């Protein structure tokens, strides 16, 4: 096909990429005298209206996305039954090729991921989820600017496309748990995948490896996100926490939006700049990289859930035999009832026997995963604490029955119980025994099976004086 003239305008010069659905050529646009990228649907798919529609949908979807970090669609058409899309040509590496050379410097990894996050946030705001976020789909131009490409399996949020629930689309190294199960995806699916990409840029490897698609996908479903600090001790704790939040198994525990993820990355970048590496406060632009011919497309993996279920069943059967033949303990994939972390948010203070305000502005500091910040009670003079207690009110992402709640207490030793309610203003029901809070204390919670939206740490200063602090609260179901 090299040398062929498409639509009387685009002369194919070189095959630069080949994927499961299409080939990508570098081409010369004779009309405007410029180099472009031409994606042509494989001939065997031109007779399948579903594939043709998916191909057309990609062109329509990306044509709506005019953003500096998204590859621009120039044209689309058909010649002798062959469908094609014309993109701007990016002559440079992709993020996968970059990370294969070794871990990136921290601020460079954040800078590139932030550009991708902004691009995806822009797409999400227009109702489009990418669904195959991976470093191979992020191109780098000669100025080191990231450009998201290959929306080939993207899907509109308000249109039922040709790919329905029950089919897994994506690449297993970056696949979100709900996507691996063949469940409905939404913008939070892209948040998970971008968290994996950032982990790889920092560590030089993907968080979960395996021999095949199913093995890797099941690790994404069942195993907690590893800490990047194990590979990169120089990584800021805040950035590690951002990655772990983005890679939460439950979409409800991830960032509320890709825009929120981008804001947190901006804060991490500002924090690094604020440290003043040898007095520098400006972020140095990425050096220009040598021009290279690169592949513009990698195949998306398509696997029916039936196959996945079959393999999982076999794995489960093997684990069952192990457990019942003295081969050691284990957890079946996707099974068991092991506790799951629940991300709580500090939302209010509770002081019904006082002025109703117990440092309310600081309640968020008890759940920001930063041990250097804390919610605190008022500072009471001797004999000044005569109330039954004061409380820190925490909101769960959804109604849930907690089993454990851990309080990291500081300041004047105090005692506490955990209480629960359906409202931040009560009434509250006590769901734990009373314990002394000095250092780190874990409460066992008994809600009698009832799910609650709000939990409260109800504190009392036994000596009647001093100031109690809570630097962090964590919980599990």
Q: Which residues are catalytic?
A: 132
Dist. CA 61–CA 82, nearest whole Å: 19
Map the chain to HEC letters: CCCCEECCCEEEEEEEEECCCEEEEEEEECCCCEEEEEEEECHHHCCCHHHHHHHHHHHHHHHCCCCCCECCEEEEEEECCEEEEEEECCCCCEHHHHHCCCCCCHHHHHHHHHHHHHHHHHHHHCCEECCCCCHHHEEECCCCCEEECCCCCCEECCCCCCCCCCEEEECHHHCCHHHHCCCCCCHHHHHHHHHHHHHHHHHCCCCCCCCCHHHHHHHHHHCCCCCHHHCCCCCCHHHHHHHHHHCCCCHHHCCCCHHHHHHHHHHHHHHHHHHCECCECCCCCCCCCCCCCCCCCCCCEEEEHHHHHHHHHHHHHHHHHHHHCCCCCCCCCCCCCCCCEECCEEEEEECCCCCCCCCHHHHHHHCCCCCCCCEECCCECCCCCCCCCEEEEEEEEEEECCCEEEEEEEEEEEEEEEEEECCCCCCCEECCCCEEEEEEEEEECCCCCCCEEEEEEEEECCCCCECEEEEEEEEEC
Dist. CA 354–CA 386, nearest whole Å: 10
Q: Is the peptide bond before 344 cis (omega within 30 degrees of 0)?
A: no
CA torsion 223-228-233-238 (nearest 10°) is -110
Contact 456, 393 (CB under 8 A): yes
């Amino acid at each position: 096909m090299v040398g062929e003239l498409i639509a009387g305008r685009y002369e194919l010069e070189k095959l630069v990429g080949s994927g499961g659905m299409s080939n990508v050529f570098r081409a010369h646009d004779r009309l405007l005298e410029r180099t472009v990228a031409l994606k042509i649907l494989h001939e065997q798919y031109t007779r399948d209206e579903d594939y043709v529609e998916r191909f057309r949908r990609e062109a329509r979807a990306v044509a709506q996305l005019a953003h500096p970090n998204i590859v621009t669609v120039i044209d689309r058409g058909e010649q002798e039954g062959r469908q094609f899309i014309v993109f701007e040509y990016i002559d440079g590496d992709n993020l996968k090729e970059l990370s294969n050379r070794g871990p990136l410097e921290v601020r460079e990894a954040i800078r590139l991921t932030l550009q991708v996050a902004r691009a995806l946030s822009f797409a999400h705001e227009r109702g489009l989820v990418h669904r195959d976020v991976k470093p191979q789909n992020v191109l780098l131009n000669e100025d080191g600017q990231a450009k998201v490409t290959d929306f080939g399996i993207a899907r509109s949020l308000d249109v039922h496309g040709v790919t329905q629930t029950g089919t897994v689309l994506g690449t297993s190294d970056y696949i979100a748990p709900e996507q691996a199960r063949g469940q409905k995806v939404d913008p939070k699916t892209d948040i998970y995948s971008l968290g994996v990409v950032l982990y790889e840029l920092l560590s030089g490897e993907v968080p979960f490896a395996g021999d095949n698609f199913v093995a890797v996908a099941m690790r994404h479903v069942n195993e907690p996100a590893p800490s990047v600090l194990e590979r990169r001790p120089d990584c800021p704790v805040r950035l590690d926490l951002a990655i772990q939040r983005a890679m939460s198994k439950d979409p409800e525990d991830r960032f509320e939006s890709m825009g929120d993820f981008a804001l947190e990355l901006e804060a991490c970048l500002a924090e690094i700049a604020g440290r003043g590496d040898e007095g520098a406060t400006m972020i140095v632009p990425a050096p220009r990289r040598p021009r290279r011919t690169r592949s513009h497309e990698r195949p998306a993996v398509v696997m029916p859930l039936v196959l996945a279920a079959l393999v999982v069943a076999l794995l489960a059967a093997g684990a069952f035999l192990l457990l019942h033949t003295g081969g050691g303990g284990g957890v079946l994939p996707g099974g068991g009832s092991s506790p799951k972390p629940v991300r709580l948010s500090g939302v209010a203070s509770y002081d019904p026997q006082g002025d109703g305000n117990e440092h309310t502005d600081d309640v968020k500091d008890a759940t920001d995963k930063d041990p250097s910040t804390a919610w605190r009670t008022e500072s009471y003079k001797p004999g000044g604490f005569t109330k039954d207690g004061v409380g820190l009110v925490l909101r769960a992402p959804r109604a849930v029955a907690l089993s454990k709640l851990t309080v990291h207490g500081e300041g004047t030793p105090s005692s506490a119980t955990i209480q629960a309610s359906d409202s931040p203003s009560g009434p509250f029901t006590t769901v734990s025994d009373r314990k002394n809070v000095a250092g780190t204390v874990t409460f066992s919670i008994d809600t009698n099976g009832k799910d609650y939206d709000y939990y409260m740490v109800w504190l009392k200063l036994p000596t009647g004086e001093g100031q109690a602090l809570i630097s962090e609260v964590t919980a599990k179901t």
